[in-house]
Amino acid sequence: MAYNKFRGDYLFTGTTLLDNSNILITNEEGVIINIAPIADAGDDVQTFEGIITPGFINCHCHLELSHMKGLIPEHTGLVQFILAILKQRHATEDEIFTAMQQAEESMLQTGIIAVGDISNNSLSFPQKQKGKLQYHNFIEVSGFSPAVAQMRFDAAMDVYNTFKKYFPNHTSLVPHAPYSVSKELFGLIDNLKDNPLSSIHNQETPDENLFFLSGEGQFNLLYETIGVDIKPFYNPSGKTSLQTILPLISKPQKLLLVHDTFTSQSDIDVMKALSSVQQAIFCLCVNANLYIENKLPPIDLFLQNSCNIVLGTDSLASNYQLSIMSEMITISQHFPHIPLQSILQWATINGAKALEMDNELGSFQAGKKPGIVNITGLTKDGNIYKESKAKRIL
């Protein structure tokens, strides 16, 4: 059998950053054989500058919005951003298909191997069927008026069934956000059988908490603009958005909380006390946070609480690229005290576990086929910075 042998300045296993005395050995297809000391690795070792790492997992993306690159200005705040998406997301199917194809290609080239992707419709299905990247499909449903709950649920179930047939283990039906899903609609989602992995946009703007605490702020403008009269059915709970919706989840599940820019210690405490959320996963999309709100999530708070962290890119409507490498660089620049090993774990093994793909992806464990990526352009002390690049090498 022919082997591939990779040596970098560093070898990141998925959990641990090793030095250059360790050689990664795979078969021709990229299935991991083992990690051997240089003395035992034999001939034909390929040497690379920088880090050899497993492929990255992008836990939050909206492939179907790829045609919206550059359309929405930065720093509008979330509500103006949502209004712009609603107004401008329409395009011809050709434009949407071409943009999705290009977006996938750039994810592949920058070392992403799997994606947790939000779908509001079936437009991304033909592209995903090509199997270039692995997907967990989060079919997303919204509707704040209780009157539309059943209708929206039924429409989303049509999309869900399309994906579920082809991706039986990697399709979920999920709520969009606390401010856009009624109690009734939450109930319908909660009742669905065999839906143990969920995701929700969480606390992306201060107005989200304000809307639930006191009923004030920009979300009133959102509903006014789209012509939904919320007065007859909406009463603020007096709690944060996250604390308001958590009791609406009754089935045990793994929940990806996406963004978490305004999540607090009390939110984390309330969540830890719940039995329904068996695993809360904090999915950071820092470049999108800077794009929309110009604010970063409280990553140190998540670390102090030993939270499970993964990374996402969000869509090209709120990001200049779909690159986990770029997300890692931004985190490293703004939080230089966080060890690179931790950030790499979030980008690889944590993401693979979150999307239930860790039997094959996320680390260099024997038998897995996680993709092999080379990070080049490190600082003298082996850290990543804005010039660092990631490239798939197998």
Footprint on this chain of Zn ion (rule: CB under 5 A): 314
Q: 80 or 376: whose CB is closer to Zn ion?
A: 80
Question: What minimum distance in Å lies between the beta carbon of 25 and Zn ion?
Answer: 38
Long-range contacts of 37-44 (CB under 8 A, 24+ apart): 38/7, 41/5, 41/7, 42/5, 44/3, 44/5
User: Residue 310: which of 268, 270, 383, 257 has the closest Cα?
Assistant: 257
| Residue in the block written with tokens 């009742």 | 191
* Cβ-contact 215, 241 below 8 angstroms: no
Q: 35 or 174: whose CB is closer to Zn ion?
A: 174
Report CA 133 to chain centroid distance, whole Å.
14
Q: 184 or 314: whose CB is closer to Zn ion?
A: 314
Q: 5 or 259: whose CB is closer to Zn ion?
A: 259
Question: What minimum distance in Å lies between the beta carbon of 140 and Zn ion?
Answer: 9
Q: State both tokens at 178.
A: 């606390």
Question: What minimum distance in Å lies between the beta carbon of 63 and Zn ion?
Answer: 11
Could you tell me how many helices (H) and strands (E) the chain has, helices first?
A: 14, 17
How does strand 3-7 pair with strand 45-47? parallel
Q: 355 or 375: whose CB is closer to Zn ion?
A: 355
Q: 229: buried, middle or exposed (CB in 10 Å: 19+, 13-18, 0-12)?
A: exposed
Question: What minimum distance in Å lies between the beta carbon of 76 and Zn ion?
Answer: 15
CB atoms within 10 A of CB 189: 22
Q: 5 or 176: whose CB is closer to Zn ion?
A: 176
Q: 171 or 202: whose CB is closer to Zn ion?
A: 202
Question: What minimum distance in Å lies between the beta carbon of 59 and Zn ion?
Answer: 11
Beta pairing partners, 56: 112
Dist. CA 280–CA 278, nearest whole Å: 7
Query: Does an H or E element contain 35, and which?
Result: strand 32-37
Question: What minimum distance in Å lies between the beta carbon of 214 and Zn ion?
Answer: 25
Q: 8 or 178: whose CB is closer to Zn ion?
A: 178
Report CA 104 to chain centroid distance, whole Å.
15
Q: What is the DSSP string of 297-357?
A: --HHHHHHTT-EEEE----TTS-S---HHHHHHHHHHH-TTS-HHHHHHHHTHHHHHHTT-
Question: What minimum distance in Å lies between the beta carbon of 144 and Zn ion?
Answer: 17
Rg (CA), the chain: 21
Beta pairing partners, 140: 174
Question: What minimum distance in Å lies between the beta carbon of 348 and Zn ion?
Answer: 21
In this chain, which residue has its C-beta nearest to Zn ion?
314
- Tell me the HSE value of 162 on the side-chain side, using a 13 A CA sphere: 19
Q: 82 or 375: whose CB is closer to Zn ion?
A: 82
How does strand 22-27 pair with strand 3-7? antiparallel
Question: What minimum distance in Å lies between the beta carbon of 161 and Zn ion?
Answer: 23
Question: What minimum distance in Å lies between the beta carbon of 259 and Zn ion?
Answer: 7
Q: 41 or 65: whose CB is closer to Zn ion?
A: 65
Question: What minimum distance in Å lies between the beta carbon of 336 and Zn ion?
Answer: 27
Q: State both tokens at 30.
A: 């990229």
Q: 208 or 314: whose CB is closer to Zn ion?
A: 314
